[in-house]
Amino acid sequence: MVGKAIASKLVELAHEVRMGSRAAGNESAVAWAAEAGEGASTGTFADAAGFGEVVFNCTAGVASLDALNAAGDINLAGKLLIDVANPLDFSQGMPPSLSVCNTDSLGERIQRAFPATHVVKALNTVNCDVMVEPARVPGEHVVFVCGNDPEAKDEATRLLGEFGWPAERVLDLGDVTAARSTEMYLPLWLNLMGQLGTLHFNIELAREVGSVDRQEA
Amino acid sequence: MVGKAIASKLVELAHEVRMGSRAAGNESAVAWAAEAGEGASTGTFADAAGFGEVVFNCTAGVASLDALNAAGDINLAGKLLIDVANPLDFSQGMPPSLSVCNTDSLGERIQRAFPATHVVKALNTVNCDVMVEPARVPGEHVVFVCGNDPEAKDEATRLLGEFGWPAERVLDLGDVTAARSTEMYLPLWLNLMGQLGTLHFNIELAREVGSVDRQEA
């Protein structure tokens, strides 16, 4: 669902997109490509990773490292990898727990497994409809990027801009260890979804007037 | 710091407040009571818990169970206990990790240890200055309550109203297991503090227009 939302948006923005799956010819992926039209293609995880200048990890968090290993470190080396996954573990029922948290995170695990890849954690704090159409939710709500490579974060922020996120609403939380923070927000996101009764919400930041913004200082 | 902020606010609101410490005659507590004036007193954790109709747990999260055990289950039984603590573990340096998270929480541990007490987790998502003076941060920012007893949550919400939080900005996240969510938000809070350069901030909620509010539905 997340992969389709992002892939469709990228095609709409005139990017060429190859959606990767465990095996070539995945029915759901082929149906997506047929519907998305020109610029859309499908293949294995390795095909997709080799094809893309930028790679989005939209797999289920508990399966992400397997999928990225299948994609192959050579196909991922030197590239920006935008990791939108959350390590939600549904094996014990609802609500899900996180399969990694607190002193480590999925984003960090991916960065450690692929040291030649520029991992940027982003968009994992909003539903996929909101990821690619932030205007669906009114107001000055925000998303986060974090990662070890400043240029990769700039490139990710530029892509988020194409999705409709103004740069001033994309907050840089620092290096990839901040993935802990945005992944650990998921339990609150799930509670808020239940309380608000919608998937289509997000958080804004309110702060004391007169406080110094370090980015401006 | 959190305890003083809340205790001072309660005295200002004409409540009688007894601040508890490990030992009677704690210098910092005595100094607070002298400055706070009428209605302010000090004692041991047990003195404070026995005195209060409502008890606030403002101790460091990693010490909370010890402090509440010292307070005594008889002194806490049948009472509303508002738990504002976060289980931040600084033993490995900065940033802190959580001493409990994911499939359990400090709020739940306290509720399990004191089954006759009505634990409501609240206010742990904002700095203590904002806890007692929400208007310090402009906008419709929110705080959360959770707990197993609806009446206890209503009473906590009423007290938050005295602190300046309108009821519509106090979101009920459900039973005490939701303490996991608000405690696991702390790493993001810490990142945001660094990014915004102030302690005095909070989150607002933005949602799609036309989405159904379960509380109104």
Contacts of B192 in chain A (CB under 8 A): 171, 173, 205
Q: Say yes or no for a CB contact (<8 Å) between A207 and B191.
A: no
Share of chain A above pLDDT 70, in %: 97
Question: For residue A211, what pLDDT is reported?
Answer: 58
pLDDT over 70 (residue B211): no
Q: Which of B135, B123, B125 is nearest to B159 (CA)?
A: B123
Q: Please write the tens of the pLDDT for every residue from A88-128.
A: 999 999 899 999 999 999 999 999 999 999 999 999 999 99
Question: For residue A216, what pLDDT is reported?
Answer: 45
Question: For residue B216, what pLDDT is reported?
Answer: 45
Interface test with B, best of A90, A170, A172, A188 (most B CBs within 10 A): A188
The shortest C-alpha distance from B199 to chain A (Å) reads 9
Contacts of A180 in chain B (CB under 8 A): 187
The shortest C-alpha distance from A53 to chain B (Å) reads 30
The shortest C-alpha distance from B153 to chain A (Å) reads 15
Strand residues in B53-115 grouped as ranges (E): 54-57, 80-83, 88-89, 97-98
Provide the token pair at B130: 């904002």
The shortest C-alpha distance from B48 to chain A (Å) reads 32
Contacts of A192 in chain B (CB under 8 A): 171, 173, 205
Residue with more model confidence, B7 or A94: B7
Q: Please write the tens of the pLDDT for every residue from B141-181.
A: 999 999 999 999 999 999 999 999 999 999 999 999 999 99
Interface test with B, best of A88, A99, A100, A102 (most B CBs within 10 A): A102
Nearest CA in chain B to A173: B191
Q: What is d(CA A124, CA B134) in angstroms, rounded to the nearest whole number? A: 29
Number of A to B CB contacts under 8 A, please give it: 153
Question: For residue A101, what pLDDT is reported?
Answer: 98
Q: Say yes or no for a CB contact (<8 Å) between A204 and B205.
A: yes
Q: What is d(CA A216, CA A81) in angstroms, rounded to the nearest whole number? A: 28
Contacts of B89 in chain A (CB under 8 A): none
Q: Which ipTM was obtained for this model?
A: 0.95
Provide the token pair at A186: 């998921």
Burial of B179 (C-beta count, 10 Å sphere; 0-12/13-18/19+) = buried
Q: Residues A22-44: what's their mean pLDDT?
A: 96
In Å, how far from its chain's centre is CA B196? Answer: 23
Q: What CA–CA distances, in Å, run from B132 to B129, B155, B189?
A: 6, 16, 18
Contacts of A136 in chain B (CB under 8 A): 208
Q: What is d(CA B132, CA B17) in angstroms, rounded to the nearest whole number? A: 15
Contact A83, A110 (CB under 8 A): yes
Contacts of A105 in chain B (CB under 8 A): none
Nearest CA in chain A to B135: A208
In the three-class reduction of DSSP (H, G, I as helix; E, B as strand; rest coil), residue B148 is classed as: coil
Q: Say yes or no for a CB contact (<8 Å) between B201 and A207.
A: yes
User: How would residue A31 be classed by pLDDT, with cut points 50, 70 and 90?
Assistant: very high
Question: For residue A212, what pLDDT is reported?
Answer: 54
**Across the strands, what pairs with A83?**
A57, A121
Question: For residue B149, what pLDDT is reported?
Answer: 98
Question: For residue A210, what pLDDT is reported?
Answer: 76
Considering just the CA atoms, what is the radius of gyration of chain A in Å? 17
